[in-house]
Amino acid sequence: MSQGRGRGYTLVEILIALVILLVVAGAMHRLLLSTQRLTRLQARQSELQSALRAGALVVANELRELGPHDLLRLAPAAVTYRAMRGVGFLCQTPTPTTLRVARQGFTGHRDPQAGRDTAYVLLAAAESTAVWQPLAVTGVSAGSSCPGAVRSGIGVTVPSTPALLGLEPGTPVRFTEVMELRLYQSDGESWLGARSVSAGEPVQPVIGPLAAGNGLALEYFSGAAIPTSDPSSIRGIRVTLRGQVDGGEREESLTTVAVLRNVARP
Amino acid sequence: MKPDRRGIALPLALFVLIAVGALVGGTFFLGRLEQDSGRNTLFAAQAREAAEAGVSEALAGLEAATLESTVIGAPPLPLGTVVLRPGVSAITNVRRLTGTVFLVRAEGRRLAPGGIVLASRALGALVELAPAGGNGEPRVVDRGWFSAY
């Protein structure tokens, strides 16, 4: 038997080893915790950036389709507007109460909806330029048929309008809905909300939570990039969305400018 | 026989390295996703800008005689291609909808160097051939733009 075989560690050796182990384990624990916290923060920041980007896209896409005449109410953190919901073309001469729109060539996120949308029909005038005639949509038949090769269509019922009788197939029809976008509070948090004014719906969250107070900022500009509150001279809207992570530890903001496309349309 | 003095330093160091590596790797992955998402948004915006430029360019050069030469129900008449910069362009055309109303359409594209379409966006503009003005020429009137999906 060798001399050292039966010799154990002394109490001092074990205590020193334990202290070193505790110090090393503590340092590693702190390192892991801080790395984990950073990862979580990064993930939340990344989610916020994605949400802001999605929100900016939604808002800009909505506003870009408008003209100054589509802006109905303006505020620094809210806007009410006539949103474009679809464009189609008549596939046959309408009756005074029914428009038949070809499914082929119809472009929009959804079909027209009764009680929500307004149809604008381009009525030709003999001596001057045509006018967009607004007509409330009172009924929709999604499975309507069109004559000839077009076949599939959307039947739209409107209040009796004798002026529709002379319209040619191919006449364009726009469908719009009055919408409101605004910053609103829910459960103590701020959200970007949207609601259909024409359908009388309550506000629905789009993205959030955003920074309280200044989570949504809308600035209205004229053609010369001068701030204006006169709807008829507005040519662009600057949209800023702000959000916070971990109670304001980090803030993200995203600004986009929507230049109104339909300035010329009366 | 010598006592086992290997300890736990190596396993502990490996464990910590793997844990920290996984967390850092996750952060990089998230960053990469963000980068890809941002790039796709940029490509879509470039395609949309190209489509807008295409419609603007087409409307600016559109003459009443060109519109009058089109026939209802005929295939669209090409109006040309607008190139903003290499890889970003728009193809434009016009077709007759009624006797006096026309649809100008532009499809903007963002292409990769190999010609692969990275993003495309289409825009339409309704145009009316209005009765003659003071100079006796029919007028081309812009009646509204819309996104074509």
- B124 and chain A in contact, CB less than 8 A: yes
Average pLDDT over residues A15-30: 89
Q: How far is CA A160 from CA A6, A109, A140, A156, in A?
A: 109, 27, 15, 12
pLDDT digits (tens, 9 = 90+) for A235-264: 999 999 999 887 777 889 999 999 998 876
Q: How far is CA A6 from the centre of its chain?
A: 77
pLDDT at A106: 93
Q: Counting beta carbons within 10 angstroms of the beta carbon of residue B4, is it exposed (0 to 12), middle (13 to 18) or buried (19 or more)?
A: exposed
Whole-model pTM: value is 0.82
Write out the two tokens for A42: 């990064």
| pLDDT by residue, tens only, chain B of 149 residues | 566 666 777 887 888 889 888 888 887 887 888 888 889 989 999 999 999 999 999 999 999 999 999 999 899 999 999 999 999 999 999 999 998 999 999 999 999 998 899 999 999 999 998 877 666 778 888 889 999 87
- B69 and chain A in contact, CB less than 8 A: no
Sign of the alpha-carbon torsion through A207, A210, A213, A216: negative
pLDDT digits (tens, 9 = 90+) for B9-27: 788 788 888 988 888 888 7
- Measure CB to CB from residue A84 to each of B16, B100, B146 and give the nearest one: B146
- A262 and chain B in contact, CB less than 8 A: yes
Considering only CB atoms, which chain B residues are within 8 Å of A92?
Answer: none
* Cβ A141 vs Cβ A112: under 8 Å: no
Q: Which residues pair with A122 in a beta bridge?
A: A132
Q: Which residue of chain B comes nearest to A109, CA vs CA?
A: B149
pLDDT at A264: 65
Written as one string, the DSSP assignment of B17-42 is: HHHHHHHHHHHHHHHHHHHHHHHHHH
pLDDT band for position A1 (50/70/90)? very low
pLDDT at A127: 64
CA distance A199 to A181: 14
Nearest to B67 by CA among B106, B105, B101: B101
Q: Which residues pair with B95 in a beta bridge?
A: B103
Q: Which residue of chain A comes nearest to B98, CA vs CA?
A: A170
* Cβ A235 vs Cβ A37: under 8 Å: no
Task: Output DSSP code: residue A1.
Answer: -
pLDDT band for position A218 (50/70/90)? very high
* Cβ A128 vs Cβ A108: under 8 Å: no
pLDDT band for position A221 (50/70/90)? very high
3-state secondary structure of B94: strand
pLDDT band for position A197 (50/70/90)? very high
Nearest to A180 by CA among A265, A54, A59, A68: A59
Average pLDDT over residues A195-210: 93
pLDDT at B3: 62
Q: Which residue of chain B comes nearest to A261, CA vs CA?
A: B145
Average pLDDT over residues A109-121: 94
Give the minimum alpha-carbon distance from B115 to chain A in angstroms, rounded to a whole number.
26
Q: Which residues pair with A195 in a beta bridge?
A: A180
- B56 and chain A in contact, CB less than 8 A: no
- A187 and chain B in contact, CB less than 8 A: no
Tell me what percent of chain A is helix, strand and coil, each rounded to the nearest 5.
25, 40, 35
pLDDT at A265: 54
Write out the two tokens for A127: 């001596």
Tokens 């600057």 — which residue?
A238
Written as one string, the DSSP assignment of A80-129 is: EEEEEEEEEEBSS---SSEEEEESTT-BSSS---TTT-EEEEEE--SSS-
* Cβ B74 vs Cβ B95: under 8 Å: yes
Give the minimum alpha-carbon distance from A69 to chain B in angstroms, rounded to a whole number.
12
Write out the two tokens for A224: 């010369």
Considering only CB atoms, which chain B residues are within 8 Å of A265?
Answer: 142-144
pLDDT digits (tens, 9 = 90+) for A160-180: 999 998 899 999 999 999 999
Confidence check on the interface: ipTM exceeds 0.90, yes or no: no
